[in-house]
Amino acid sequence: GGTLDKFIGDAVLVFFGDPETQGAQKDAIRCVSMAIEMQKAIQEMIAEWQLQGIAKRLSARMGVTTGYCTVGNFGSEDRMEYTIVGNSVNLASRLETNSKPGEILISQETATLVDGVFELEEVEAIQAKGFAHPVRAFRVLGPKSAEAAEPGIIDTTTGLSLKIDLDALSPEEREALVRKLNETISLFQKEDGKKS
């Protein structure tokens, strides 16, 4: 997952791509997926609170962008902090500030990477502090499909959980996987033959 950088007041800064990256597109998809899951978890918490008679509502605004940043240990001998700095960090903050409660706004850079996976709606460009030109922004409406949110094969049934990330496999690994699946099928067929 992502790296939890810091808490700033009631805000949380999380980044993907360091210390490990799966490539810009996968990192962007993982980040937007995380934001959607966080919003879902908040809605579930609100529903639970309502059952307990708690009327106060909790909401979160989220901003996501993709770009180059500087990541590393900053500070002095007395106090070092592993953190991220750069223009993209500022843009994510501006997107969050301009989003509505319960909303996820992403930059054009991120939208380009995740457009095939998530339903997006362009909103009015924002006048972001520290940026000379208006910034294009997109609202995340949700995944286009369960499969699209996590590329690959996902199947779950009683006694079986299968998740294959096809993009992560080399041709040799795919061949090895096919052999292993065929062996498993043969094993099941032998077991079924014994039972009949």
CATH number, domain with residue 47: 3.30.70.1230
Check whether 161 has a pLDDT greater than 80: no
pLDDT of residue 194: 73
Q: How confident is the model at residue 75 (pLDDT cuts 50, 70, 90)?
A: confident
- In three-state secondary structure terms, 84 is strand
Q: Summarize the confidence of residues 87-115 as an average pLDDT.
A: 93
Pairing of strands 104-107, 135-143: antiparallel
Instruction: Give the C-alpha separation, 178 to 182, whole Å.
Output: 6
Do 41 and 100 lie in one domain? The reply is: yes
Instruction: Give the C-alpha separation, 31 to 28, whole Å.
Output: 5
Do 41 and 124 lie in one domain? The reply is: yes
Do 75 and 162 lie in one domain? The reply is: no
pLDDT of residue 153: 58
Based on C-alpha coordinates, what's the Rg of the chain? 21
Instruction: Name which residue leads in pLDDT, 9 or 95.
Output: 95
Do 93 and 116 lie in one domain? The reply is: yes
Do 117 and 180 lie in one domain? The reply is: no
Do 11 and 108 lie in one domain? The reply is: yes
Do 91 and 159 lie in one domain? The reply is: no
Judge if pTM exceeds 0.85.
no
Q: Which residue has the tokens 């993907």?
A: 16
Do 103 and 182 lie in one domain? The reply is: no
Do 143 and 161 lie in one domain? The reply is: no
pLDDT of residue 80: 86
pLDDT of residue 136: 95
Omega prior to 134 cis, within 30 of 0: no
Q: Summarize the confidence of residues 167-182 as an average pLDDT.
A: 83
Q: Summarize the confidence of residues 86-112 as an average pLDDT.
A: 92
pLDDT of residue 76: 85
Do 69 and 136 lie in one domain? The reply is: yes
The mean of the pLDDT values for the chain is: 84
Do 136 and 170 lie in one domain? The reply is: no
pLDDT of residue 154: 53
Check whether 2 has a pLDDT greater than 90: no
Domain that holds residue 39: 3-149
Domains contained in the chain, number: 2
Do 87 and 139 lie in one domain? The reply is: yes
